[in-house]
Amino acid sequence: MNNAIDSSLTENRLFAVPADFAAQANLTANEFAELQQKAAHDPQQFWADLAHQHLDWDTEFKTVLDSSDAPFYRWFSDGKLNVTHNCLDRHLHDAQRHKAALIWEGEAGEVRTLTYAQLHREVSIFANALIHQGVKKGDRVAIYMPMVSEAVVAMLACARLGAIHTVVFGGFSAEALKDRLEDTSAVMLITADGAWRGGKKVPLKQHADQALLREHEHSVKRVIVLRRTGADIDMQEGRDIWWEEAVSGQSAVCPAPPMAAEDPLFILYTSGSTGKPKGVFHSSAGYLLWTMLTTRWAFDLKPEDVYWCTADVGWITGHSYVVYGPLANGATIFMYEGAPMYPQPDRFWEMIARHGISVLYTAPTAVRAFMKMGDEWPARHDLSSLRLLGTVGEPMNPEAWMWYFQQIGGGRCPIVDTWWQTETGGHMIAPLPGVTASKPGSCALPLPGISARIVDDQGDPVGAPDAGGYLVIEQPWPGMLRGVWGNPERYIESYWAKFNNRYYVAGDSARRDQDGYYWVMGRIDDVLNVSGHRLGTAEIESALVAHPAVAEAAVVGIPHEIKGEAVCAFVILKHQHQGDDRDELGAALRVQVTELIGAIARPDDIRFTDALPKTRSGKIMRRLLRSIARGEDVTQDISTLEDAGTLQQLGAQDKR
Ligand code: ATP
Ligand code: MG
């Protein structure tokens, strides 16, 4: 094979599915095998059956997949349904109407529960308020809110009317908000006077005012403002209206009109880890089907579960696995407003014990941050209500996996490591908790209907086990993105052009082991070339994190006269190892990488640091580290960087 990405870190631990878990799972080994067989034999029938079985349709579809304008695929395009009917109205029968849909906890500890009947009522009222304010089907509505139940209400109210929501993470700056308002030509902005984060008020409305300063640069006519922190804010006459005024006198009856399956449901921007964020948009029916199925399969949700996905609704994980997937399944969702370590590092564990949370879905960045704080924090709490753990966002380092498994899951809970993207709508590769044995650090097997492949530079499948290449998807699937908003060229160029529209190109590198398990090796953009060997970042980072003193690591390439590129590693130490001798540790880490991977991956340069540049969604931005390691000016897009202070700390020459 040409240009394989080399791999040599072997992780041999295997954790079988606990027999009692398998016995009660939503998807059994037999059902999984049947689904896979059906998907391989007749994909269209496979998807059609699932769509009939799991969704309520107003008009049945006749066409399953329309490929006439590929790669602009259309699914179930002559069918009609309403997404919120499927998430709310259809659960209003019998006792289900009084089941908790949302249990929300504020940062200060206040708790609010909304049953399905109550959530349905709030959504109907707010949808009527939107109509009253002039919002129409197809209009773009921006939502820039804290993690409060009203954010979910606002999303669903838009969906009920067919208005296209675009949620902008509440931690983003005025500038990032302005870009998104312009790019989507939003007619309305829904925001709050502020948000609580780490005991402080985040001035959302001030940011919104700044973003809206120059009227000719945006199309926002109305701003609805929720009172949350009680901050003193300006309300612009004729433009701004309080949430409570907007809903006052509105009827709780709001029909759920049928939408075409392909009507866009929302626009959402990617994290910006590898470059300027892309405004991805998703469909109504296909997206709903995929989030519903993957929630059911991967999280094994049962009526009695209390399920917590820690993502903010400003990310795809929040869209698919806080809102649409769980609600379509009639689940009970827990939602938390504030900072994870507030007021102290056991906030998550304390809430899990108090609310009896049974399924937890979070990110490797959070797991590594908790690991850094020490084992004593989770140990203080009774975590026995947990029965399943999930992760998403970055490759999970095997040692962080082990920590999560033992310290949080008590060695009892399956870990579902889900590989997917803003663009894929829902999970693509993940172990099924009742079926698939887990290997720490691997996202295991593609889900039924997902034709993942690993290909070389020419687009030919990589044959040998463990040979790394491009992770691509061969066949379209219902949950896939429908495009980049207003920029069809970028859709083609970002995801299809590389192999002439033959595959959806994810932009990640991966390998498949002899058991068919997938291991994400990092971003294609971040691959290093050391003495002619192409190395992904994930394995070297995992070898570093395997050292007991290390909580997190990021590696990038720096130019080297002889080798072409050398490895530069940025390393964060666990709290109790902050005082260790750095020279000794550096030497030990070089030995460790040499032993686990080989001399080829040994870092030439190791830099100890307290923080890494991350996106607002918690992903390491290696493209910035690369500039820092090379002593170059940082001239790239940093609109989604979490904390510009980390750049200074790392000695960046910020010349933007
Ligand atoms: P941008 O596309 O703007 O660079 P991004 O790719 O970080 O940003 P997201 O859609 O939020 O935006 O993230 C998807 C990416 O996250 C995947 O392409 C992959 O690199 C990484 N990822 C997500 N889940 C996993 C996982 N379980 N294992 C490994 N990597 C993962
Ligand atoms: Mg991406």
In this structure, are 543 and 644 located in the same domain? yes
Asked if 503 and 473 count as a contact pair (C-beta separation under 8 A), the reply is yes
In this structure, are 643 and 545 located in the same domain? yes
For residue 393, the ligand closest to its alpha carbon is 1
Residue 569 resides in a domain: yes
Amino acid in the structure at residue 404 = Y
Ligand 1 centroid distance, CA of 538 (Å) = 13
Dmax over Cα atoms in the chain, in whole Å? 74
Residue 572 resides in a domain: yes
- Give ∠ CA 200-375-394 in degrees, rounded to 5: 70
In this structure, are 483 and 569 located in the same domain? no
In this structure, are 454 and 543 located in the same domain? no
332 — pLDDT class (breaks 50, 70, 90)? very high
State how far the Cα of 164 lies from the Cα of 172, in Å rounded to an integer. 20
In this structure, are 629 and 542 located in the same domain? yes
What ranges in 214-321 are assigned the alpha helix state H?
Answer: 243-247, 285-299, 316-318
Among 504, 521, 538, the domain boundary falls at: 521
Q: What is the domain-level CATH number for residue 537?
A: 3.30.300.30
Atom of ligand 1 nearest to the CA of 523: 20
Ligand 2 centroid distance, CA of 440 (Å) = 23
Residue 599 resides in a domain: yes
Q: Quick one: pLDDT at residue 10? A: 81
Segment 494-508, tens digit of pLDDT: 999 999 999 999 999
Whether pLDDT at 1 is above 50 = no
Least confident of 6-15, 186-195, 262-271: 6-15
Q: Which of 183, 362, 520 has most ligand 1 atoms within 8 Å of its beta carbon, as the pocket-test mutant?
A: 520
- Give ∠ CA 452-430-102 in degrees, rounded to 5: 130
655 — pLDDT class (breaks 50, 70, 90)? very low
Is the distance from the beta carbon of residue 279 to the nearest atom of ligand 1 less than 6 Å? no
In this structure, are 516 and 535 located in the same domain? no
Structural domain that includes position 463: 450-521
Is the distance from the beta carbon of residue 523 to the nearest atom of ligand 1 less than 6 Å? yes
Whether pLDDT at 2 is above 80 = no
What value does the mean pLDDT take over residues 386-402? 97
In this structure, are 558 and 630 located in the same domain? yes
> Which has more confidence, 517 or 218?
517
In this structure, are 580 and 498 located in the same domain? no
Residue 473 resides in a domain: yes
Q: Quick one: pLDDT at residue 656? A: 42
Q: Which residues surround ligand 2, an ion (CB under 5 A)?
A: 270
Show the tokens assigned to 239: 């433009």
Residue 581 resides in a domain: yes
The contacts of residue 455 (CB under 8 Å, 6+ apart) are: 461, 462, 469, 470, 472, 499, 503
In this structure, are 477 and 562 located in the same domain? no
Is the distance from the beta carbon of residue 128 to the nearest atom of ligand 1 less than 6 Å? no
Pairing of strands 5-6, 533-535: parallel
Q: Quick one: pLDDT at residue 653? A: 54
Which residue in 560, 574, 500 sits closest to 530, CA to CA?
A: 560
Show the tokens assigned to 284: 């109504």
- Return the number of other C-beta atoms located less than 10 Å from residue 136's C-beta: 11
Q: Quick one: pLDDT at residue 651? A: 80
Residue 632, SS3 per DSSP: coil
Which residue in 591, 432, 620 sits closest to 522, CA to CA?
A: 620
In this structure, are 476 and 570 located in the same domain? no
Residue 467 resides in a domain: yes
In this structure, are 490 and 541 located in the same domain? no
Q: What is the domain-level CATH number for residue 491?
A: 2.30.38.10
Q: Which of 179, 394, 541, 620 has most ligand 1 atoms within 8 Å of its beta carbon, as the pocket-test mutant?
A: 394
User: Domains in the chain: how many in total?
Assistant: 2
Which residue in 71, 67, 7, 4 sits closest to 498, CA to CA?
A: 71
Residue 456 resides in a domain: yes
Residue 613 resides in a domain: yes
The mean pLDDT value of the chain amounts to 96
Ligand 2 centroid distance, CA of 428 (Å) = 14
Whether pLDDT at 3 is above 90 = no
Ligand 1 centroid distance, CA of 53 (Å) = 30
Among 497, 521, 545, the domain boundary falls at: 521
In this structure, are 485 and 590 located in the same domain? no
Which residue in 566, 553, 557 sits closest to 632, CA to CA?
A: 557
Atom of ligand 1 nearest to the CA of 315: 11
For residue 270, the ligand closest to its alpha carbon is 1
What value does the mean pLDDT take over residues 394-420? 97
Among 499, 521, 543, the domain boundary falls at: 521
Is the distance from the beta carbon of residue 617 to the nearest atom of ligand 1 less than 6 Å? yes
